[in-house]
Structure 1
Amino acid sequence: MDLPGVSNAEELQIRLRRYDYLADEGLATAIFLALRLSRPLFLEGEAGVGKTEVAKVLSRLLDTPLIRLQCYEGIDVYQAVYEWDYARQLLHIRTAEALGAGEDRERFEAELYSREFLIARPLLQALEHRGPQPPVLLIDEVDRADDEFEAFLLEILSDYSVTIPEVGTIEAGRPPVVVITSNRTREVHDALKRRCLYFWIEHPSFEREVEIVRLRVPGAGEKLARQVAAAVQELRRMDLYKPPGVAETLDWTEALVALDAKELNEQLVEATLGSVVKYREDQQRVRAPGIEKLLSRVNGGGWGRADT
């Protein structure tokens, strides 16, 4: 699909920034091509680097609903596509029995499995959407699902249709804008990746992370923003079980701003460490050499300084 007023990746990059998302040239190009070619976009990277946010900002930019399918171990077609409303079916059966309307068994069973009793889950909702713009379908953390569900997704994304035996085949009027994310807790099958445009999202550079903080947390002063970004960059260099992503950087900055902090000090870091390092073992690793050493690396590590 074409985005009005956007004819290339550079213009899309500017539009994304207006919606508070800073995409580098590579990511902006991948998003642009996914829209232009109507191909699913497969985003992979560490947790917290902004993969899910791409789908959210596209929803706002396109002024269309965001439909999210959160994957997890054991997810199947009934959680992803549709299921029957058994409570309403049971109520219908009891009502029919009370009224003596269950004599025509064939007609009665057909009523039970009509569209009236079907609950649409995210994939079916995306296929059936009939708004002015196709919806954004976010298939989040697909690496948590199993191989069988991947194969089912591949089938859905091949022709954007699904067959429900009792109802028939339902096709999308226009294919949704599909964003698939993976934290790479396991390898996703090549067949699914080949169906998509692929992009690996890295942790941002120091200067870009400062820019993200200033954009998303405008209440943070320049000095605080640079110190927080530098501290997070240092934390990522440590052997942590779960290095902080951009999401944690923003969480930490918001917590510090809420405390009216103007710059980092040892007490503030100790008090707010849970905003950025969210595993007990990782907190112990950070505290072991001392918070003071972390701050000395932040202030003396060549990250750049601001006096205001």
Structure 2
Amino acid sequence: MKDSEEVFSSIETLLEALEANQYITDNSLATVIYLAYHMKRPLFLEGEPGVGKTEVALVLSRILGTRLIRLQCYEGLDAASALYEWNYPKQLLRIRMEEQCRKHPDEIGQVIYTEPYLIKRPLLEAIQSSEEKSPVLLIDELDRADEEFEAFLLEILSDFQISIPEIGTLKATHRPMVVLTSNRTREVHEALKRRCLYHWIDYPDPEKEMRILRARVPGIQETLAAQVVRFIERLRGEDFFKRPGISETLDWVEALVKLNRYHLDPPTVEQTLGCLLKYREDIQRFRLGIWADPLEQARLLQPNLTSGQAEG
């Protein structure tokens, strides 16, 4: 296995490492990852759900041979949940023990507000990592968090240090590699983006999706792979509430393989539609639109038809 310096010696070697870890991408994403590593800047990835944003952080942790620390964002996320909080039950137990020994309150305070009584959440865990290699910090789906949390995060990403009133300032000994993701359900503030290197991950084109299927599902029948890619490409052209991403493609193929299906047919599509479309309205729109047209259905299920021919 190559060490991180060798992997990040060029964009080409990084691309090879990504593909070796079954992450198929292009030069544009590999370039921004390469720059984020060497410039020690956070990497901000936006795109539709299921296009492989989170997977970038997972693969990077494997390539770098280091730990992945994940902060899953959600509405109402605050500093205590993301950074640290005090272990109150443990503190209370220590207070009772010290009181029995007739210790002065000031002495007790000096004991209970120390690191052994600190519960480290993902951000502090990443900053205070004692491992030899810097961890990869994934801040996932930032757009789900509130703007107040963004402002707090801005300070952390600026200096990679935090101030805890009872302890003092804690600074990162090994600056983590940071990957932030967003599904763009709302706009993330420009001030945060300015501190990052940005990349938009789009749905893959048919050629890339075929490469992804071959890498992630070794031995897949070419006929089935071609049908799946063409089918998915057609669905992404519809105005669905949630269009299928790469993760849905892989789920669908896994389901088809487990069902011993080697080509698509109408019953198979109907039975496995829930792998692709996750909203009742989208399923109804599909059934009343594309699937209700016999000619469209025949085109989608043709085993040897290319995407260009299907549209002609």
TM tier relative to shorter chain: over 0.9
Does the aligned pair in 2 maintain the 1:102–1:108 contact within 8 Å?
A: no
Equivalent-residue separation in structure 2 for 1:242 and 1:275 (angstroms)? 12
The aligned runs of 1:256-267 (5 Å cut-off) are 256-267=256-267
Equivalent-residue separation in structure 1 for 2:4 and 2:272 (angstroms)? 44
TM-superposed CA distance for 1:296, in Å, is 2.4
Question: Partner residue of 2:162?
Answer: 162
Deviations 1:107-163 (A, max 9, x none): 112222221110000000101112221000000011111111111111101111011
Equivalent-residue separation in structure 1 for 2:278 and 2:219 (angstroms)? 23
Question: Partner residue of 1:18?
Answer: 20
TM score, norm. by length of structure 1: 0.94
The aligned runs of 1:208-287 (5 Å cut-off) are 208-287=208-287
Aligned with 2:54: secondary structure? helix
TM-superposed CA distance for 1:175, in Å, is 0.9
Match of 2:306 among 276, 283, 302: 302
| Corresponding residue pairs, total | 303
Equivalent-residue separation in structure 1 for 2:252 and 2:202 (angstroms)? 20
- Taking every aligned residue pair, what percent have the same amino acid on both sides? 53
TM-superposed CA distance for 1:180, in Å, is 0.5
| 1:43 equivalent in alignment to 2:53 | no
| 1:110 equivalent in alignment to 2:110 | yes
Equivalent-residue separation in structure 2 for 1:155 and 1:102 (angstroms)? 41
Question: Partner residue of 1:66?
Answer: 68
Deviations 1:84-127 (A, max 9, x none): 11121222233334xx1254111112222221110000000101
Deviations 1:245-279 (A, max 9, x none): 00000000000001111001111111111111111
TM-superposed CA distance for 1:219, in Å, is 4.1
Aligned with 1:186: secondary structure? coil
The CA RMSD measured in Å over matched residues stands at 1.8
Aligned with 2:130: secondary structure? coil
Letter in 2 for 1:209: E
> Are residues 262 and 304 of structure 1, via their aligned partners in 2, closer, same or farther at CA, if it must alter by over 3 Å?
farther
TM-superposed CA distance for 1:170, in Å, is 0.8
| 1:81 equivalent in alignment to 2:83 | yes
TM-superposed CA distance for 1:235, in Å, is 0.8
Most deviating of 43-52 and 293-302: 293-302
Equivalent-residue separation in structure 2 for 1:144 and 1:178 (angstroms)? 18
Equivalent-residue separation in structure 1 for 2:140 and 2:37 (angstroms)? 18
Aligned with 1:44: secondary structure? strand
Aligned with 1:139: secondary structure? strand
Equivalent-residue separation in structure 2 for 1:295 and 1:106 (angstroms)? 77
Does the aligned pair in 2 maintain the 1:143–1:187 contact within 8 Å?
A: yes
Equivalent-residue separation in structure 2 for 1:214 and 1:165 (angstroms)? 53
Does the aligned pair in 2 maintain the 1:265–1:295 contact within 8 Å?
A: no
Does the aligned pair in 2 maintain the 1:136–1:176 contact within 8 Å?
A: yes
Equivalent-residue separation in structure 2 for 1:12 and 1:77 (angstroms)? 34
Aligned with 2:96: secondary structure? helix
TM-superposed CA distance for 1:195, in Å, is 0.3
TM score, norm. by length of structure 2: 0.92
Structure 1: runs of 5+ lacking an equivalent: none
Aligned with 1:180: secondary structure? strand
Letter in 2 for 1:41: L
Does the aligned pair in 2 maintain the 1:34–1:197 contact within 8 Å?
A: yes
Question: Partner residue of 2:55?
Answer: 53
TM-superposed CA distance for 1:283, in Å, is 1.1
Structure 2: runs of 5+ lacking an equivalent: none
> Are residues 56 and 291 of structure 1, via their aligned partners in 2, closer, same or farther at CA, if it must alter by over 3 Å?
same
